[in-house]
Amino acid sequence: MRRVLFFTGLAVLLASLVANGLLGRAALRNFAATSEVRLDPIGLKFYEADRARVPATGGADGPLVVLFGDSRAVMWPTLSVPGYRVINRGIGNQTTAQMLLRFDVDVAPLHPAVVVIEGGVNDLKTLPEIPERRGAIVADCESNLSRIVEKCRQIGATVVLMNIIGIGHIPLWRRPLWSSEVADAVREVNAFLPRLAGEKVLHVDMGPVLSDEHGDIRPEYQWDYLHLSPAGYDALDRTIVPLLSALPK
């Protein structure tokens, strides 16, 4: 019995050390990300070199599609759409407020024919840290996405507005700093987004493609609890590419 208790205690200790190590690494990444935001609040340096080589609109390669969003956009492998050129303007960890502020620098000068908007989860994942601001965070996320859509329309671009992609399986080490309110808020914002659909604004719900019957991202489509695997992006492409290909040029 003593041996069983000893090894059980040892296993618990090791599990605790691993969990604390993972939490420590996450904290360091968060500190680094916070420092980067303080130095470059809306990420203008991220595409600084590319900005000096703004491509001409139209051309032999066709009109331009811009993928605009957060890490889920920037991690999207090269999207190939017949008749279009595609440029990625995603930045990891960005909120919709940051996306809105950099639109006039990173998107508008490109004169895109189409803007694919993917964003919002970084707004909502702050809820476990400041739950008292839930209403304002959700409202601001909806307002920012509305304003980004309107900015796209003002420059004559067709908008493909994606639902906020759901949350995957939360690992044990992340659960102390997580809340079910995040998934609830994602559903709330996603219920709002269809209202923005209209002339030159297409709303795309990827939930039925990526999620299981509980609304969670299918394991085969997860890279981690917030990001998609290559198979997940393949699933996105199977919906997005035919949609873009069918748009009038």
Residue pair 249/239 in contact (Cβ under 8 Å)? The answer is: no
Residue pair 220/229 in contact (Cβ under 8 Å)? The answer is: yes
The per-residue pLDDT for range 169-184, each reduced to its tens digit, is 899 888 888 999 999 9
pTM of the entire predicted model: 0.84
What is the structure's pLDDT at 4? 57
Alpha carbons 187 and 67: distance in angstroms, whole number? 22
What is the structure's pLDDT at 40? 81
* DSSP-derived 3-state class of residue 24: helix
Report the chain's mean pLDDT, rounded to a whole number.
87
Residue pair 191/138 in contact (Cβ under 8 Å)? The answer is: no
What is the structure's pLDDT at 31? 45
| pLDDT classification of 22: cutoffs 50, 70, 90 | very low
Half-sphere exposure of 225 toward its Cβ, with a 13 Å CA cutoff? 13
Can you identify the CATH homologous superfamily of domain 45-245? SGNH hydrolase (3.40.50.1110)
